[in-house]
Amino acid sequence: MPKIFVTRPIPDAGIKMLQDKGYEVVVNEAAKDRVATREEVLAGVKGVDALLSVLTEKVDAEVMDAGLPTLKVIANYAVGFDNVNLPVAKEKNIAVTNTPGVLTNTVAEHTFALMLSIAHRISEADRFSRAGKYTAWGPQLLLGTDLSGKTLGVVGLGRIGSRVAMHAAKGFGMKIIYTDPKPSAEFEKEMGAEYVATIEELLPKADFVSIHVPLLDSTRHLMNAERLKMMKPTAYLVNTSRGPIIDEKALAQALAENWIQGAAIDVFEFEPDITPELKSLENIIITPHIASATLETRQLMSVLAATNIIEALEGRTPPNLVK
């Protein structure tokens, strides 16, 4: 019977599917509230047919070699797969899958929650109230910014970027501009959106900039000091994609020196470390990489990862094969 190693305990729907198949499923229970250690991963992957990994593990040549010759599929429990070395997996003939689609709405909702919260200063106002600073209603107390009528700049029009744009256009009457290697005439028509060829054209026009690109060599530090300076001083930056896309030191400076109005980020350049300067600033909201973290979605991701494993081990093409 096929053997599966799951690097950290995940919601159980997918685990049950694998067990129902009669597979031997070993879950690394020790890593419930911490990352799996390198030793646990290297030992766990030995002799298995499938590795169910999460984004806190680096799945590189050493891990793959430890799993060979039996390892056939790596099912990454995430839509992002920058933690897996794809070229090496290809070379070693190991399939890699991810969990797109099922988390699109959840991540888009979290992105929107961040946008609304930073614009309406929700976290700051909450801290203010708890600290006993609310002594009188004030005509100018904690004034924020409306989303309605503003321009959202979407960087990367994948599933999540499109969904965020939809909420913005249909729900909040925002104007959409976007940049992506592949423009979509259909999307432009539906959302009344405007395409710009480069991020340099987008940044000076947007009141909110939301990042939805994968982490690649070409997107690392996409938002550096130079580009942060191209944003309006009244604009906000939101990131629910991958941390290293923003130069975090530059962001801290941009916020401290008011090059931009604010930022709301769910991902960090040196995760789980957060650049200390950011934590003392009022004009940033920080969430700990939880944009896909709802009960429903984490179960659906579990089902999808299991489905990918089952399809691969039964000799079919898994639905979410990463190419």
The continuous run of DSSP H or E covering 258 comes out as none
**Binding region for ligand GLV (CB under 6 A) out of 45-53, 77-85, 219-227, 247-255:** 77-85
Which of 7, 28, 85, 104 is in the footprint of ligand GLV by CB under 6 A? 104
d(C-alpha 186, C-alpha 183), whole Å:
9
Which is nearer to ligand GLV, 55 or 231 (by Cβ)?
55
Q: Angle at Cα 297 formed by Cα 275 and Cα 291, nearest 5°?
A: 20
Which is nearer to ligand GLV, 85 or 292 (by Cβ)?
292
Burial of residue 277, with CB atoms counted within 10 A of its CB: 0-12 exposed, 13-18 middle, 19 or more buried: middle
Buried/exposed 170-180: b ≥16 CB within 10 Å, e otherwise: eebebbbbbbb
Structure tokens at 198: 């480069």
Secondary structure (3-state) at 322: coil
Does residue number 10 form part of the binding site for ligand GLV (CB under 6 A)?
Answer: no
| DSSP state, residue 170 | I
By CB under 6 A, the residues from 197 to 256 that bind ligand GLV are: 212
Q: Which candidate in 227, 242, 269, 298 is catalytic?
A: 242
Q: Which candidate in 40, 188, 271, 277 is catalytic?
A: 271
**Binding region for ligand GLV (CB under 6 A) out of 3-11, 33-41, 98-106, 228-236:** 98-106
Which of 160, 215, 223, 260 is in the footprint of ligand GLV by CB under 6 A? 160
Does residue number 11 form part of the binding site for ligand GLV (CB under 6 A)?
Answer: no
Which is nearer to ligand GLV, 120 or 159 (by Cβ)?
159
Radius of gyration of the chain (CA): 21
Q: What is the smallest separation between the CB atom of 34 and ligand GLV, expressed in angstroms? A: 18
Q: Angle at Cα 189 formed by Cα 187 and Cα 191, nearest 5°?
A: 65
Which residues make up the interface to ligand GLV (CB under 6 A)?
55, 78-80, 100, 103-104, 158-161, 212, 292
